[in-house]
Amino acid sequence: MNQIINDILSSSIALGIIAFICKMILKHMDKRGLETYKNKLKIESDLLAKRIDFEFSQKKEREIELGRWGLTLLSSVNGLIGRLKYIKDNGSLTED
């Protein structure tokens, strides 16, 4: 009976030590995994922020360019309307 208790005690101590070592190894691997995951998230968020910033600047440049073209077209239409009004008021195209 004493031998059985001694065997159970020694095997439970051995299993406890093995479990403690496995827990330390898993905790270390988990920390490394978390650090890797944090770094991956940081890189992805930086890339996403750069992409959003690039798209915003492209949209802003496109809107500025469209505004310039719109102002150019508005100016030319105003000139054309002014010329047609001048022709209408004077009644002839050849008097110029």
Number of H helices, E strands in the chain: 1, 0
Kindly report the length of the chain: 96
Q: What is the pLDDT of residues 33-90, one digit of tens each?
A: 778 888 999 999 999 999 999 999 999 999 999 999 999 999 999 999 998 888 888 8
Q: What is the pLDDT of residues 15-43, one digit of tens each?
A: 888 888 888 888 877 777 778 888 999 99
Q: Are 70 and 64 in contact (CB under 8 A)?
A: no
Token digits of residue 80: 């054309």
- Answering whether pTM is above 0.85, one says no
